[in-house]
Each structure stands twice: as C-alpha cells, then as structure tokens.
Amino acid sequence: MMRPDRGTGLALRYVAAVAVTLLFLFPVYWLFMISFKTPEEIFASPPVWWPKSLQLANYAVLFKDGDVVTIWNSVVIASVSTAAAMIIGTMCAYSIARFRTGGNFFTDWLLSNRMVPPIVIVFPVFLLYVKVGLVDSYLGLILLYTAFNLPYVVWMMRGYIQDIPLELEESALVDGCTRWQVFLRVVLPMARSGFFATAVFTFVFAWNEFIFALVLTRAEVTTFPVQVTHYFGGQSNFWAKIAAMSALGTIPIFIAVTLLQRYLVRGISLGAVKG
Amino acid sequence: MGRLSIEGVHKHYGKVHALKGVDLDIAEGEFCVFVGPSGCGKSTLLRCIAGLEEIDEGRVRIDGEAVEGLRPRDRNVAMVFQNYALYPYLSVFENIAFGLRARKVPDAEVRARVGRAAAMLGLETFLDRKPRELSGGQRQRVAIGRAVVRDARLFLFDEPLSNLDAQLRDGMRAEIKRLHQEIGKTTVYVTHDQIEAMTLADRIVLLRDGRIEQQGAPLDLFERPETRFVAGFLGSPQMNFIPCRAEGGALRFSCGRSLPLSRPAPEGRDLLFGVRPEHFSRPGEGDPRPRLDVEIDLVQPTGARTYAQFRLGGVEATAELPAHAVERPGARIALAADMARAHLFDAATGRAIRD
C-alpha cells in the first residue's frame, strides 16, 4: 500500500481544519443573518441563506426602545468587576506565591469557593442585598462578580507568578526596588501573558453570568443576557430582536479577544512548553 | 568605602542550621572569595550580606553601619546572579539602567552612567537589543553592567560563571579580575570552583558545614592547609591522604613500606600522610631522596602531564608525572616524594600537625 506523501497529508489536515472552523462559525453566521432579515425571511422555508437586503430595522428597534442600554450595563459591570478581580487577585496571588500567605489551607479553601453551585447562594445573597440596599445597582453585581472571579484569578495568577524566576525579583530588590516596585516593574510584566488570558476569561464569565443578574436586577441595571430572555414570550419569540441583541452582545467579547489574542494564546499555553 | 564586617552570624532554615557563627572582616577594595562544597553555607552568607535573607543572630556591618535590619535596597550593595537575572522584556540599556531608574536618577545621568558601563564591558553596540538576542557571555556582561553602573558599596557575585561553557568561563574570569583592578570595589564572590577561587581571590574564605574552615591568601591556604578538608578541597587532582604511623623517625604505611620523616611527628597515633600528586617525581641516578617502589595500575595522560595511580598504605594514590614518564599500567617504577612540601594530619581530628 502506498503511504500518502506529505503534501496530501497537509491538504487533508487543512480540509479537516476548514470543516471544523465552518462548523463552529455557522451558528455565528446564522445569528448575524437573522439579525439582518425581515420577519418573512426569518421564517421562510426553505431557509434564506443570504437576505435580499441587509436591513437594520431590527437594530433600530433596540436603540429606539432603549434596550441597548443593557449592553452598556453589562460592559460597566463586567469591566469594573474584571479590573477589581484582577488587581486584588493578582496581589493576593503574589502574596501566596512568595510569602506562602495563609499556608496550603488558604489556597485550597479559596478554590473550594469556586465549587459552590451558584444556585445555592442566590437567595441568601438576594435577601442580604435587600437588607443592605444593593439590589438593582451596579455596585451589587460588581461586588458579586468580583467575589466570584477572585478564586479563579488567584489560582491562575499564582501559577504564573510561581513560574517567574525568583532571581529576577531578588535582583530588583538589591537594585533598589521596594516590594511594590518589584510587583509593578518585574512581576506584572513577566506575568503579562497569563494576566491578560486570565482577564479575558474573567470578563467572559461576568459577561455571560445570568442567574444572579436575573435575581438581583429589576429595571435599572438589567444586563444583556437577562434582557435577551425578555424576548422569549409566552405566545411567541421575537427572533429578530433576539438575534440583533445577541449580535450586539458578541461585539465587546470579540473586541476583547482580538486585542488580546497574542497574549491569550501564549497565556493559555504557558508552562506547556519550556523556554 | 566598602568595609564589611560579620560577627557571630547564625542562620537557620527550619531545622537546618545553615550558618553556625561566622566571623569575618573584609577590607576596603579586597576581592574575597567564598568557596566550599555545595551546602556549606557560602551562598547563604552572601544572601545575608545582600539582605535577601534575614540573619537569626549576629551582626553585619558595612562601613561600620549595622545593616542587618535594613532592606536590601537600603544596604547599597550590587549583586550579580548565577542565571544573570536579566529582564527579558527590557532592552540591554534598560536592564543596565534598572537600578538607577528604581532610585529615580535623572535621565541625563542614567544615560551617561549606562554609557560608561557599556563602554567598560564592550556592550555599546548591543544596547538596543533584548537579552534573548545575546550570547551567554554577553548576558553575563550585562548582568555585571547592572552592578557596575550603580555606585554600590559592595559587589556581590553568586556563582556568576557556572552557567557558561569552560572556554567562555576562562575569558570572563579574567575580565572580572581586570574589572576589579580597574574599579577597586570591595568584592565578595561565591563559587564552588577552586580554580576560580585561587585565580580571583585576594583572600579565600573556605566554608564547611556553616563554619569558616580556614581563610587567607590563596597560596597560603594551598601551601599551609590547617585541616585535611582544606588540603583536599584545593588542588586538582586532589592531595593524596595515606594512612600511616610515625615510628622511630619514619612514617610506616600498612603495606610495610616507609618514608623517613624530615621533622618530628607524634608517635603512636593514626596519621594521614598528605602529599600532592605533583610532589611525587621519578628520582634520577644517585638521587639522595628516599625511594618508594610502586606498581602503576592506572595511567591517565592529559597531554602535558600524566596521572599515574598506584596503591600505597592500602589506598589508591596519584602521582603527577611528565608526559611520557609511564606508558602502561603494570609498570614498576620508583617514586620520590618531596617531604618538605608534604603534610601530616591527625587521622581522628583531621587537623594538620605542625612542628
């Protein structure tokens, strides 16, 4: 039997890669297409693969009704909670990595927080928030998402920081840096890839979070995932609105991932390959 | 500027007693080398001087000022690390300037001082590069540049050459010595390599198990070791230690052979006859020196010299002879030992026996 030569093998691999990419991209394509279709086109059979004209009426409605403000709410809540979790979590991770703060127990306990099913604490948190007046406020969700993401950030950043050669920090200390300067001028630049990769995952978590946003918001700070569910009605679903809103909702994630892509790949694969 | 004095320093890591009361004075401008086997405490002592480790007991003074409570940055010392400790995300220029930036030195002065340091180390053309674009030797030069650029009171080197290949190491060693002659800063240098210690040091401090075993000028330690450990640590190949006893003015070995003593030795005690391989030679015709007839069982030619092994007093001994002195194992030859340069050690305590 003849073995396929290298060219054939490469071609096969490309075909497989393209096929898998298409499979994953199709729902995204379909979502965007629906958002540009007229109601007739949405329900047409056989399906319309490409609408006659890319009409923006579905988006216009969202803007006119003021529904897009929920995307802004999500941007504020996800960004601020990500920033807070990254700042506090990275400092905490540094402390654990270099000074063994809290010993082994503390890090395990931190991680165990992540294992609690959210549904278990939704209602206690709701009752607590009613008492302290944090329901339907930016601060309420920001605090909660920060708390949720902290264990993840600490755990991930601890690993990235432990990979930094200790000599780099010691050298900086002898050269005249304070601990703070070491953290800012050595640790952060060295852990940059891991930092951004962690930040993206943290942001995506806050962006997608649904159950707490549903229970803890009313009208003021409704987030985008909650808003989308409002279009699923008892009698009918507003597919046009669902598609347009969802399309808008992917844009911030798309921007974040595109901007940080080079860090993301390096950050995720960090430690996989030495050197 | 740059006097260092260490008094009764103790350091524990958990149950390990790493430094057991070290006393040491290093004069201004001196090049002092800490040497010893791994785990002897030499790096720990250096880190205690730098302030990277806190000491449990004792005093560390720089120019008379007690520094044991000070943070590393307040001690004003510069340190070169084994793995260079360069920042991969900064250019060579910024790596050298790092310490100055941390101390908020004005930009014009940073430029002038980095320029001077780079010129001294031949790094002018590399200033815009990143460390990963440099060879091992160049990286080590940048690391030295980071120390030189600062007006530090002490230079500390922690095994700076152990990551370089042998040829580069010889070159860098010479460069470090030249640099010290030019700048004249007090330098403390840690190594496990006895050649580095011998060639660089004004003074060698030989550590063992957290204590100073002996200190002094390199040749002083080499020629007048106070213990068997010092004698064995310095010199390559190692000094021979042959069990013996002193009887009637001669050294008697367990194999029955003997050598007349040139100076008195305590009788009736187990001794070790310490003789360096290069102090064996083949006696010529009519040589008055006492002979040892031996059978060579291993021959190792190195080019210029040949190492010949033979059994004496129940142990394997080595003689360093001219290149063609012995051709094959099995040869029976006569050897003479230079008794004036040989040593006697107490077998029980390991201490040298002097008259």
Mean pLDDT, residues A43-58 taken together: 85
Q: Give the pLDDT of residue A1.
A: 52
pLDDT tens, position by position, B151-161: 899 999 999 99
Range of the structural domain that residue B254 is part of? 237-346
Q: Give the pLDDT of residue A2.
A: 54
Q: Do residues A196 and A221 share a domain?
A: yes
Kindly state whether residue B113 falls inside one of the protein's structural domains.
Answer: yes
In the predicted structure, residue B301 carries a pLDDT above the cut 70? yes
Mean pLDDT, residues B304-313 taken together: 93
d(CA A74, CA B241): 80
d(CA B299, CA A61): 96
* CB-defined contacts A:B, below 8 A: 60
Q: Which of A170, A176, A185 sits opposite B103 (nearest CB)?
A: A176
Q: Which of B73, B82, B89 sits opposite A176 (nearest CB)?
A: B73
Q: Do residues A37 and A98 share a domain?
A: no
Token digits for A130? 């009613």
Q: Do residues A138 and A158 share a domain?
A: yes
pLDDT tens, position by position, B58-114: 999 999 999 999 999 999 999 999 888 999 999 999 999 999 999 999 999 999 999
pTM above 0.95, yes or no: no
Q: Do residues B56 and B111 share a domain?
A: yes
pLDDT tens, position by position, A71-92: 999 999 999 999 999 999 999 9
Range of the structural domain that residue A152 is part of? 65-269
CA distance readout (Å), A47 to A43, A164, A240, B81: 7, 54, 15, 68
CATH code of the domain in which A237 resides: 1.10.3720.10
Q: Do residues B150 and B206 share a domain?
A: yes
Distance from CA of B86 to the nearest CA of A (A): 7
Q: Give the pLDDT of residue A268.
A: 66
In the predicted structure, residue A273 carries a pLDDT above the cut 50? no
Q: Do residues B127 and B183 share a domain?
A: yes
Whole-number average pLDDT of chain B: 92
Q: Give the pLDDT of residue B300.
A: 94
CATH code of the domain in which B177 resides: 3.40.50.300
Nearest CA in chain A to B97: A175
Cβ density class A6-33: b for 16+ within 10 Å, e for less: eeeeeeeeeeeeeeeeeeeeeeeeebbb
Q: How confident is the model at residue B291 (pLDDT cuts 50, 70, 90)?
A: confident
Beta carbons of B239 and B276 less than 8 angstroms apart? yes
Q: Do residues A198 and A248 share a domain?
A: yes
Mean pLDDT, residues A32-41 taken together: 88
Query: Last residue of some domain: B203, B225, B247?
Result: B225
Q: Do residues B262 and B202 share a domain?
A: no
Query: Last residue of some domain: B201, B225, B249?
Result: B225
Chain-chain contact of B102 with A177 (C-beta, under 8 angstroms): yes
Kindly state whether residue A274 falls inside one of the protein's structural domains.
Answer: no
Query: Last residue of some domain: B225, B245, B279?
Result: B225
Kindly state whether residue B244 falls inside one of the protein's structural domains.
Answer: yes
Q: Do residues A183 and A243 share a domain?
A: yes
Kindly state whether residue A49 falls inside one of the protein's structural domains.
Answer: yes
Number of folded domains that form chain B: 2
Number of folded domains that form chain A: 2
Nearest CA in chain B to A170: B52
Q: Which of A168, A174, A192 sits opposite B79 (nearest CB)?
A: A174
Q: Give the pLDDT of residue B162.
A: 87
Q: Do residues A178 and A256 share a domain?
A: yes
Q: Do residues A39 and A85 share a domain?
A: no
Interhelix angle A69-99/A138-162, rounded to 10 degrees, is 40
Is the minimum CB–CB distance between A4 and chain B shorter than 8 Å? no
Percent over 70 (pLDDT), chain A? 95
CB-CB neighbors (< 8 A) of B89 in chain A: 189-190, 192
CATH code of the domain in which B287 resides: 2.40.50.140
Q: Give the pLDDT of residue B7.
A: 94
Q: Give the pLDDT of residue A52.
A: 83
ipTM of predicted assembly, 2 dp: 0.86
Chain-chain contact of B50 with A178 (C-beta, under 8 angstroms): no
pLDDT tens, position by position, B330-345: 999 999 999 889 999 9
Q: Do residues A111 and A15 share a domain?
A: no
Q: Do residues B38 and B111 share a domain?
A: yes
Is the minimum CB–CB distance between B116 and chain A shorter than 8 Å? no
Kindly state whether residue A150 falls inside one of the protein's structural domains.
Answer: yes
Q: Do residues B201 and B246 share a domain?
A: no
pLDDT tens, position by position, A117-163: 888 999 999 999 999 999 999 999 999 999 999 999 999 999 999 99
Percent over 70 (pLDDT), chain B? 100
Q: Do residues A34 and A82 share a domain?
A: no
Mean pLDDT, residues B136-162 taken together: 91
Nearest CA in chain B to A167: B85
CB-CB neighbors (< 8 A) of A188 in chain B: none
Kindly state whether residue B135 falls inside one of the protein's structural domains.
Answer: yes
Q: Give the pLDDT of residue A269.
A: 62
Kindly state whether residue B230 falls inside one of the protein's structural domains.
Answer: no
